[in-house]
Structure 1
C-alpha cells in the first residue's frame, strides 16, 4: 500500500512539475513550416525522463484529423468530446510519423480553416488573430501550473520560427 501511495504521489508531483505550461504550435508561412513544442509523458513510470521535444515539419506534410469520443456516464447521459489532431506524414506517403493536438478555445474546424487560409494566402486573406498572447501567462486560479516550467523555445528555433528565410545576395559577376 505504501509503494502504491508513493508511486501515485510521485506521479502527481512530477506531472505538475514537469509538464510545460502550454504546448504551442507556430506556423511560419514564409518558410512553409510548422514548429511544435511537444511534451510526452509516461503515466505509468514517473521515474524515467519526460522530454520536451521541439520539432519542425514542412507544411505540405501536415494533415488534420478530426476525432470524436462518446461516452455514457453512470447516470445515462451522453458526453461527446471532439477535437483536431495535426498529423505529419512521411513525404510522398500517408504514413503518419507524428501527431499533436490542435487545441483552442474557439471552434476546431474554424481554426483549421483559418490556419490553412493563412498558410496559403497570407495575412491579407485572414482577419486578425482572435487570441495571441504569451503562453506563459496564467489565470489567477491556475495555482498548480505556476509550478510548471515556462515555455522556452531554443534561441535558434525561436528565431527561425518567427522570421523569413534570408536569401544570399547575388554574386557580382565581373565582366572581362
Structure 2
C-alpha cells in the first residue's frame, strides 16, 4: 500500500512515497536472490537486519589522504617558492593558500573519520515479543570533525508502533546525472504524524522495501512468514577485509551489554 501524499510532518527530504505502517500488510514480497545480504539473525524472539549508512567503504580513506596531502602542499606552497623582496610579497596568494589549506584539512578529517570510524555494520533488531526496535547507530557531525562527543556509536530503542518507512528519491552527481534512492525510517510521536527522529534504513528502493516487508512479516506473523535464505548470515565482525583499509580499521559491532541482552530476550 502506497500513499500519494506525505503522511508525516515533516516528510523525509526528497520524499517519494510512504511504505505500509507497522499494522498494515507489506507492499511487496521479499525475494532473497536479489537482496545483498541475508538477515544477521532470525529466531522466534528477534530479527536482526544488516544496515549501513555508507554504500561504499574504502575509497573515502584514500580520498582523505589525498585531500590532506593537497592541504599540506597548499600550506607550504608560499614557503617553497623562490624568495621575493619584502615589498613584492603576494599576500593575497598567501592568504588564499592558507584558507584553502584549512578548508581542505577540515574536509579531509571529516572524510577520514566517516570512512574509518563507522562500524563494520549498523544492525537493527526487531524484537517481536517486546514490540521494540533496537538500532545500532553511528552519529557524526560534519561541523565538528575533531569532536569526540559528537562522533561515536549509540544504541537506541524505539517502539515498533511508532516507526514509519519512507522512500526518498533525488537526482545526484553521477556522471551525466542519476537517480539516488533510499529508504529511511522515521520515529513519530505516539498517536500523531509528528516526526521526532529519523535514520537511514537501506540503499535502493527495492532493497529497502523488501527489508521493511521482512520486518512487517516478522513482527506481525513471526519467523515462519519469512522466506528461506540459501546463503548463511554474513559475519561482519570477522570477515576478511585485508585489502580494504576502511573496513580493516573500522570498529567491530559491540552492543552495550544491557541493551544486547534486552534486545535478544522476551519480556
Q: How many residue pairs align between the two structures?
A: 163
Larger radius of gyration: 2
* Mapping 1:49-88, distance limit 5 Å: 49=148, 50-71=151-172, 77-88=176-187
Report the structure, 1 or 2, having the larger strand content: 1
Q: Which of 216, 240, 248 matches 1:146?
A: 248
Aligned residue for 1:86, secondary structure, equals: strand
Report the structure, 1 or 2, having the larger helix content: 2
Instruction: State the alpha-carbon separation in 2 of the partners of residues 41 and 82 from structure 1.
Output: 22
Indicate the residue corresponding to 1:25 in structure 2.
124
Following TM superposition, the consecutive aligned residue runs of length 4 or more in structure 1 with deviations greater than 3 angstroms are 128-132, 137-141
Instruction: State the alpha-carbon separation in 1 of the partners of residues 140 and 156 from structure 2.
Output: 16
Deviation at 1:138, TM superposition (A): 4.2
1:120-169 CA distance string (max 9 Å, x none): 0001122235663333244544221211211110111111111111xxxx
Deviation at 1:5, TM superposition (A): 4.1
Deviation at 1:84, TM superposition (A): 1.0
1:1-57 CA distance string (max 9 Å, x none): 343343234333333442222211111111111100111211232122213221111
Give the aligned CA root-mean-square deviation in angstroms: 2.4
Aligned residue for 1:56, secondary structure, equals: strand
Instruction: State the alpha-carbon separation in 2 of the partners of residues 102 and 34 from structure 1.
Output: 12
Q: Which of 145, 156, 160 matches 2:258?
A: 156
**Residue 135 of structure 2 is aligned to residue 45 of structure 1:** no
Deviation at 1:58, TM superposition (A): 0.9
